[in-house]
Amino acid sequence: MLTLSVLHLLSSDMDRLAAHLDAKLASAPEFFRGLPVLIDFEVMAGQAVDMAALKDMLVARKLMPVGVRGVDEAQRAAAEEVGLGLLAGGSPIARREEPSQSTKPAAGAAMIVRHPVRSGQQVYARGGDLVVLSSVSPGAEVLADGHVHVYGPLRGRALAGVQGDTEARIFCQSLNAELIAIAGNYRVSEHIREEERGHPVQIFLDGDSLRIETL
């Protein structure tokens, strides 16, 4: 189990940051490829950060910045400008308002994909669930802020609750994933047990450990 998705920003100097990251990424480039990251600004209060440059720098390194936390007002506005949402939790400022009526996404909030998700492709259901009616190939990646359902074989990477929703789950007909993750808690293929492989399962968080349960 790994939780590597939070990037604690300690400096606004992009060159230093880039050098630092490159050193880190070099240790396991394949693992970090396409990894969704949450950028933590806790110690950066009051400092101006070039959000666009920061985002580009991460994207250029094949990371996927998905949100920010611990931002001040100015940083928050700048983050929104470049499409990075604020994540509740660990934030010194007001939490983002949760939808008060219900925690269920409104009908129609789920994204439905009917075709196979092929190697090299990425599908992200922002703000809701993702339903894949076909297969997810090795080298493909499916992500959702909510649940992920895969009705064909799941052979690629599946990440649910990528904005930090610990209630999110992954449901699949046949588990053969390269990586599964819920709210930043990861398990790679090597650590998926034989008896869970190829079976219909659901995957959810139990405290902070990932559980795989056959259906």
Rounded to the nearest whole angstrom, what is the least distance from the CB of residue 30 to other proteins in the complex?
Answer: 14
Distance CA 159, CA 157 (A): 7
Of 92 and 200, nearer to other proteins (C-beta) is 200
Contact segment (CB under 8 A) with other proteins among 5-13, 77-85, 148-156, 164-172 equals: 148-156
Pattern 95-134, binding to other proteins, x per CB under 8 A? --------------------xxxxxxx------------x
- Looking at this protein, which amino acid is placed at residue 100? S
The span of 44-52, 150-158, 190-198, 207-215 binding other proteins (CB under 8 A) equals 150-158
Closest by CA to 4, choosing from 201, 159, 213, is 159
Residue of the chain from 66, 132, 140, 175 that contacts other proteins (CB under 8 A): 140
- Range in contact with other proteins (rule: CB under 8 A) among 61-69, 85-93, 152-160, 180-188: 152-160
Q: Does 135 bind other proteins (CB under 8 A)?
A: yes
Distance CA 129, CA 199 (A): 22
User: Residue 155, class by beta-carbon neighbours within 10 Å (0-12 exposed, 13-18 middle, 19+ buried)?
Assistant: buried
Residues 132 and 151: beta-carbon distance below 8 Å: yes
* Cα 76 from Cα 195, distance rounded (Å): 45
Q: How far is the CB of 134 from other proteins (least distance, A)?
A: 8
Count, residues near other proteins per rule CB under 8 A:
16
Alpha helices per DSSP H over the chain: 14-25, 29-32, 51-60, 73-81
Q: Which has the closest alpha carbon to 169: 177, 158, 179, 154?
A: 158
| Pairwise CA distance, residues 136 & 119, whole Å | 8
Q: Decide: is 157 part of the binding site for other proteins (CB under 8 A).
A: no
The yes or no reply on residue 155 touching other proteins (CB under 8 A) is yes
When asked if residue 172 is in the footprint of other proteins (CB under 8 A), the reply is: no
Residue 202 touches other proteins, criterion: CB under 8 A:
no
The residue ranges that bind other proteins (CB under 8 A) are 115-121, 134-135, 137-140, 152-153, 155
